[in-house]
Amino acid sequence: MSGEKSVILVTGGSGLVGQAIKQMVEDEKLRNTEQSKNETWVFCGSKDGDLRDKTKTEALFEKYKPTHVIHLAAMVGGLFHNMAHNLDFFRENMAINDNVLHTSYKYKVKKVVSCLSTCIFPDKTTYPIDETMVHNGPPHDSNYGYSYAKRMIDILNRGYHDQHGCCFTSVVPCNVFGPHDNFRLESSHVIPALIRRMDDAMIKGEPTFTVMGSGKPLRQFIYSLDLAALFLWTLRSYDSVEPIILSVDEEDEVTISSVAEAIQKAHKYQGEIIYDTSKADGQYKKTASNKKLRRLYKDFKFTPFEQAIEETVAWFKRNRETART
């Protein structure tokens, strides 16, 4: 992209990752970087066009005429929301992805970077998982609808590359959190749910705080601002159709109980954390290897987990009235 004028359309631009990318882009403009002089960024949310609808998707592309696309838009939700709506997650995400990629092909977009998820990987597998293992078996039963729909982006990317020579690729982040997350209790992921619920408990003066499940499952979490920086690198520097995992290192994997304790520390909550072991834990672990990323981008520094939690909790407290709650 160096030296050329580009228009980058970000679908799902009002969400967690989209807003983090927007912050990174605005920081580059303030620094007056060479990239910022040649790039026009358009961040679109669901109000700008329903990507489940082919005609509305094409209208969006006709309006902005993007040269590049970062595709983040998806129907998303936490464990229990997924378990209850697998069919909806599959159908809606399949429609969104097919419309965005086919319209990108139709409008001769030079590059598309789509966002996948580590939940696409097989449930029964060896660890750590890497980019070669995406299609090696069924995903976990709890969210198979979302997982299969996300997997199919990889198939579409390969098809458009093989049949039409398109530079369509994908990234696979581990669990993302940060400012602008979804803090709605019925559909949020684990970190924003814990942040919101613990804030509620503090407001009510509750002496105990309950975490659903045993607290033992392990997860890798990436701060949204770190992921945003890696998205920019992928858009500008990574040209393979093969997916690339964007994850913290394997040794940075943490238990859900450690997450709850970090949030407790950031909130300064004085109550006791208890665990409701009658609730489902979901997949015990899904450790991802970032060796490919480390090989291609050796010097990248991730934000320390506790610092990222502190910044996210502080953002939520400042923005509770306007956050997605």
- C-beta of residue 251 within 8 angstroms of C-beta of residue 291: no
146 is catalytic: yes
| Whole-number Å distance between alpha carbons of 312 and 293 | 25
- Measured from the Cβ of residue 173, the count of other Cβ atoms closer than 10 Å reads 24
Beta strands in 92-214 (DSSP E): 111-115, 168-173, 175-177, 208-212
**Closest C-alpha to 68, from 105, 101, 112:** 112
CA distances from 20 to 27, 119, 138, 179, 215 (A): 11, 22, 32, 8, 28
Tokens, residue 274? 């208890």
Catalytic entry in 64, 107, 127, 146: 146
Q: 187 and 15 in contact (C-beta within 8 Å)?
A: no
Enumerate residues 6+ apart whose C-beta is below 8 A from 200: none
**Which residues are tagged catalytic?**
146
